[in-house]
């Protein structure tokens, strides 16, 4: 599979039919030439997932992600969705550890590691998110922060398990703010992350792992970001809700 990925995170947006329509339009617009450049993932709200899975069925380069996952198989966890449920639906990916989950729902690295493990147990590939706050960047602690998130969130896996993990670096200060890390800033952190993977799992794992940039990715900056040697694509927020913008980002490869 092509290492490059463009993943859309719809967050808490779109009515039911709007989500279905967006998925169907993307499924009809994208073709083999696009998927030769990058795999595409649609991260939809739970209510959209059945219809989105149906819309992309049979299209090899187009996949579906849940935006969260619970760490237990089943039980009295009102409002939660399990990996087993997502597997039964045909959902192939799950976004885990997005900064908004960390910030608003208090999700810790330790909790996220259990979620990553549970996703993998059911054959669901985690898109594991990490990144620093503006204060942490200004304090010069970006590298220690993301190293800890990486170590505590996924380095407890074995090499085979890690081979199914996608890493998304998303500087918190650039998410939904309109600010974007410069290509130089983003590349610097991605290079560091790849180096950490090499130290822990070896050079082959570091070469094969997909590292995404997230944080106000738009058509006007995608090409420059994706041209960086250690950036393999993007985790796209608001622009993934607009067909023309999302297609332009995918095609910027």
Q: What confidence tens digit (pLDDT) does each residue in 53-90 have?
A: 999 999 999 999 999 999 999 999 999 999 999 999 99
Give residue-wise pLDDT tens across range 228-240: 999 999 999 999 9
Average pLDDT on 98-110 reads 96
Q: Which two tokens mark 7? A: 């993943």
Give residue-wise pLDDT tens across range 5-40: 999 999 999 999 999 999 999 999 999 999 999 999
* Prediction pTM value: 0.96
Which of 205, 181, 183 lies closest to 193, judged by CA? 205
Q: Which two tokens mark 59? A: 């299209």
Indicate which residues carry an active-site annotation.
98, 170
pLDDT of residue 178: 77
Name the band, by pLDDT with cuts 50, 70 and 90, for residue 2.
low
236 Ramachandran zone, left/alpha/beta (phi>0; psi -120 to 50):
beta
Give residue-wise pLDDT tens across range 140-191: 999 999 999 999 999 999 999 999 999 999 999 887 777 778 999 999 999 9
Average pLDDT on 119-134 reads 97
Question: What are the φ/ψ torsions at residue 43 (nearest 5 degrees)?
Answer: -95, 95
**Alpha-carbon torsion, ordered 180, 2, 197, 134, to 10 deg:** 10
pLDDT of residue 175: 78
CB atoms within 10 A of CB 54: 16
Distance CA 13, CA 210 (A): 26
Average pLDDT on 112-118 reads 98
DSSP lists the bridge partners of residue 167 as 128, 211
Element (H, E) at 207: helix 203-208
Please state, in angstroms and as integers, the Cα–Cα distance from residue 96 to each residue in 35, 55, 60, 71, 167, following that order: 24, 23, 23, 11, 10
Distance CA 88, CA 41 (A): 18
Distance CA 86, CA 50 (A): 10
Q: Environment class of residue 159 by beta-carbon count within 10 Å: exposed (0-12), middle (13-18) or buried (19+)?
A: exposed
């Amino acid at each position: 599979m092509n290492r490059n990925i463009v993943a859309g995170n719809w967050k808490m947006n779109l009515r039911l039919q709007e989500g279905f329509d967006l998925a169907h339009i993307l499924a009809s617009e994208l073709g083999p030439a696009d998927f030769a450049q990058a795999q595409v993932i649609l991260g939809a709200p739970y209510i959209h997932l059945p219809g989105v899975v149906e819309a992309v069925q049979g299209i090899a380069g187009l996949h579906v992600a849940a935006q969260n996952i619970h760490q237990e198989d089943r039980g009295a966890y009102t409002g939660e969705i399990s990996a087993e449920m997502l597997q039964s639906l045909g959902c192939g990916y799950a976004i885990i550890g997005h900064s908004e989950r960390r910030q608003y729902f208090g999700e810790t690295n330790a909790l996220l590691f259990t979620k990553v493990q549970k996703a993998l147990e059911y054959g669901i590939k985690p898109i594991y998110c990490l990144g620093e706050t503006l204060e942490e960047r200004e304090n010069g602690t970006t590298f220690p922060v993301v190293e800890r998130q990486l170590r505590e969130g996924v380095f407890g896996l074995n090499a085979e398990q890690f081979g199914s993990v996608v890493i998304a670096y998303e500087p918190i200060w650039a998410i939904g703010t309109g600010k974007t890390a410069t290509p130089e800033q983003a590349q610097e952190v991605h290079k560091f992350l790849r180096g950490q993977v090499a130290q822990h799992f070896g050079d082959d794992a570091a070469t094969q792992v997909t590292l995404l940039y997230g944080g106000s990715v738009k058509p006007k900056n995608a090409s420059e970001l994706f041209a960086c040697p250690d950036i393999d694509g993007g985790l796209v927020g608001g622009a993934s809700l607009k067909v023309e913008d999302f297609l332009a980002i995918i095609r910027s490869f």
